[in-house]
Chain A
């Protein structure tokens, strides 16, 4: 009589890497929210079964290597030019789901013209705008999004309105543009906000696929390294300092649900 084999342990994985985010260790600092943003985008690409028709355009900033982490076709644009490059890609590959992934220095400073006019033309692309109020990659200089009084290596005494101006709110600005179909700001500082951010990412891709115009999801993010904070304190800084300066919300959404085809 044979001995019964013990039953296989019934372990079902409940959390793993999305298909669109192959298991490649990233170079991001501990506690940096770039990783969360990547994961959310990849999860949405999986959920939309869009991996084989997605083309990403990486920018110059800490996310310059985004192409290493996403399992989709990618281009790596010059600093600030990702929306122009994405325009070229999307115009000749209208069937593709095209997105850019840009930091605040990239998008709001050197690339201000390119992002504005991509919106003006109503380019059918989705922009993920990772706003951490600083130039992360180059070691913490002031960005157009740096908060008033915030110290950075190039505003060592704090951002001074008289000589350095004050925060540029790109979502509010771009929402004024008729070609923009979907422009929202979300935050990555806690679980509730992260879930909201994911929904917005999904919505932006859907609006792109419906051909309604330019779409952008701004994500308030942390840079613990250059802010000189622990990861936890950095999340608190987003909540307590950034959110008041950059209110969360929907600045432009397709007018009716019918128009959005939802």
Chain B
């Protein structure tokens, strides 16, 4: 496949199609709507299912139905719409059906605005809906990653019978950038549907997709089963990126678009002699706990940068557990942190360290 100039929202929609998504259900919301519009054209063209639902509540329950019937299915939305999906996501976790949700986050709370934000971290990473459940959360930082993560999200969802979330933001959805789409996967044969799926009980016992366990002991056993599955995912599916961390005394921890802005800031600070690098969680759940803990033993300080007021910060603090100081810089409400602002925070931290740590290398004190 050739590199082409692609808009984020169109790119992930097309990537989903090529990953074998057979049914898309959605409801218009900025800054994600181009994905729905792309699906409205492409899915019928390919003889696949597209439904504009009456609400995000309905959309996620349609996804639940299609997932229960054993096909690759997805929805996409933005923050206020995703809030409406929490009930459905909890049910899907409780009945272990695979599906993909793309959240192109925007400024909030409430109706907020349509500018990019990362303030759905807690909602998506910690649950959001009721019950002890998890979903895999991938955090792309470019249009290429938006594509790659969408494909990966389907594969992981199927592998673990879990909901995978691609947690993007308005800038990634709206941005145009050079990227390469994957080749079209052949559609799954109708008779290749998973053994647990609803397809009509022909020559087999009946199948049931349900999240109800009325007996508390049985519900507890089911929860333990879920936790065992989550532990397996934590053991096998953590992904993160380390950028210029080998000699770093300061590590910036950031995900998605914020991480990209941090990279620009780091380039400038490196040129000025500051030993700073980036630690970028790619899976927000499972969180790169061990790698971050190791890092906290190597660096002198950590700076968390987010497009919210410190939602991932709580996870970083939990993992670092005071092995080194953790600072925070965030812009919120749809405002993006500019590289110069981030650079100023890095510089201030370096100066502080220089004062506190006498044997720090000269360049740290710049």
- Is the beta-carbon distance between A89 and B69 smaller than 8 angstroms? yes
> How many positions in chain B have a CB within 8 Å of any CB in the partner chain?
40
A17 CB to closest chain B CB (Å) equals 15
Contacts of B154 in A (CB 8 A): none
A77 is contacted by which of B61, B71, B207 (Cβ under 8 Å)?
Answer: B61
B88 & A71 in contact (Cβ 8 Å cutoff): no
**A87 B200 Cβ-Cβ under 8 A:** no
Q: Choose the segment among A51-59, A157-165, A171-179, A205-213 that binds chain B (4+ C-beta atoms closer than 8 Å).
A: A51-59
A88 and B67 contact, CB distance less than 8 A? yes
Considering only CB atoms, which chain B residue lies closest to A96 in the complex?
B200
Q: Please tell me if the beta carbons of A52 and B198 are within 8 angstroms of each other in the complex.
A: no
Q: Which of B55, B71, B202 contacts A113 (CB 8 A)?
A: B55
The reply on A78 being an interface residue by CB < 8 A is: yes
List residues of chain A with CB within 8 A of the CB of B95.
75-76
Closest Cβ neighbor of A67 among chain B residues: B208
- Asked if A84 and B200 make an inter-chain contact with CB atoms under 8 angstroms apart, the answer reads no
Contacts of B210 in A (CB 8 A): 58, 67, 74-76
Q: State how many angstroms separate the Cβ of A221 from the closest Cβ of chain B.
A: 22
Contact digits for B12-52, partner A, Cβ 8 Å, 1 yes 0 no: 00000000001101000000000000000000000001010
* Cα A6 to Cα B258 with chains together (Å): 90
- Give bound CA distance, A90 to B49, whole Å: 10
Check if A72 is an interface residue, CB within 8 A of chain B: yes
Q: Which of A76, A96, A117 contacts B199 (CB 8 A)?
A: A96
Shortest C-beta distance, B38 to chain A (Å), equals 18
Residues of chain A within 8 A of B65, CB atoms compared: 57, 75, 77, 84-91
Q: Is the CB of A87 within 8 A of B87?
A: no
State which size class the interface on A falls in: 35 or more
Q: Judge whether A85 and B68 touch: CB under 8 Å.
A: yes
| Bound complex: CA A72 to CA B204 (Å) | 10
Q: Which of A58, A76, A120 has the most CB of B within 10 A?
A: A76
Determine whether B255 belongs to the interface, using a CB cutoff of 8 Å to chain A: no
Give residues of chain B (186-228) contacting chain A, Cβ–Cβ below 8 Å: 198-203, 206-212
Contact partner of B66 among A71, A81, A91, CB < 8 A?
A91
B contact residues around A75 at 8 Å (CB): 64-65, 68, 95, 198, 208-210
Supposing A81-B57, A85-B61, A113-B54 touch, asked if A55 and B69 sit within 8 A by C-beta, the answer is: yes
Q: Mark A58-79, 1 if CB is under 8 A from B, else 0.
A: 1000001001000111111110
- Bound CA span A113–B49, Å: 21
A88/B208 in contact, CB under 8 A:
no
Q: A92-B66, A92-B69 known; A84 and B53 CB under 8 Å?
A: yes
Q: How far is the CB of A93 from chain B (nearest CB, A)?
A: 5
Distance in angstroms between the alpha carbons of A126 and B357 in the assembled complex: 73
Which residue on A lies nearest to B48, using beta carbons? A92
Q: Which of A74, A78, A87 contacts B62 (CB 8 A)?
A: A87
B208 touches A84 (CB 8 A): no
Q: Report the Cα distance A86→B66, complex, angstroms.
A: 8
**Smallest distance from the beta carbon of A24 to chain B beta carbons, Å?**
12
Indicate which residue in A53, A114, A121 contacts B61 across the interface (CB closer than 8 Å).
Answer: A114
Distance of A173 Cα from B125 Cα, bound (Å): 41
* A90 and B51 alpha carbons, distance in the complex (Å): 12
Contacts of A114 in B (CB 8 A): 54, 57-58, 61
Judge whether B201 and A51 touch: CB under 8 Å: yes
Encode A106-145 as 1/0 by CB contact (under 8 A) with B.
0000000110110011000000000000000000000000
- By the criterion CB–CB under 8 Å, are A87 and B51 in contact? yes
Closest to A50 in B: B200
Contact call A91/B51, Cβ cutoff below 8 A: yes
A57 to B95, CA, bound (A): 14
Q: Which residues from 268 to 294 on chain B have a C-beta closer than 8 Å to any C-beta of chain A?
A: none
Q: A113-B58, A114-B58 are in contact. Are A52 and B68 (CB under 8 A)?
A: no
Known contacts A53-B202, A89-B69, A76 near B211 by CB under 8 Å:
yes
* Residue in chain B with minimal CB distance to A123: B51
Chain A residue contacts of B88, Cβ below 8 A: 78, 81
- Which one of A55, A71, A113 lies within 8 Å of B57 (CB-CB)? A113
B137 to chain A, nearest CB (A): 22
List the B side residues contacting A77 at CB < 8 Å: 61, 64-65, 91
Q: Is B114 an interface residue (CB 8 A)?
A: no
Confirm or deny: B63 has a beta carbon within 8 angstroms of a beta carbon on chain A. Answer: yes
Nearest Cβ on chain B to A118's Cβ, whole angstroms: 9
Report yes or no: B61 in contact with A88, Cβ–Cβ below 8 A: yes
With A and B bound together, what is the CA distance between A22 and B78 in angstroms? 45
Residue of B nearest to A22 (CB): B206
Query: Taking A52-B201, A76-B209, A85-B62 as contacts, is the C-beta distance between A117 and B54 under 8 angstroms?
Result: yes
A64 to B202, CA, bound (A): 24
- Are A93's CB and B61's CB within 8 A? no
Most buried by B among A84, A93, A95, A96: A84
Find out whether the CB atom of A84 lies under 8 angstroms from the CB atom of B62.
Answer: yes
Say yes or no: B61 contacts A89, CB within 8 Å: no
Residue B73 at the chain A interface, CB threshold 8 Å: yes
A89 contacts B87, C-beta separation under 8 Å: no
Is B198's CB under 8 angstroms from A74's CB? yes
**Roughly how many angstroms separate A85 CA and B199 CA in the complex, as a whole number?**
14
Lowest 10 CB-CB distances: which A-B pairs, in order? A88-B65, A84-B61, A76-B210, A117-B54, A85-B65, A88-B66, A88-B62, A52-B202, A81-B61, A84-B58
A-B contact pairs, 13 of them (CB 8 A): A53-B202, A64-B212, A71-B201, A72-B201, A74-B206, A75-B68, A76-B212, A77-B61, A87-B62, A87-B65, A89-B65, A89-B66, A113-B58
Given contacts A52-B200, A74-B198, A75-B210, 8 further A-B contacts (CB under 8 A): A73-B207, A76-B209, A81-B87, A91-B23, A91-B66, A92-B23, A117-B53, A117-B58
The interface of chain A, by Cβ under 8 A from chain B, is 51-55, 57-58, 64, 67, 71-78, 81, 84-93, 95-96, 113-114, 116-117, 120-121
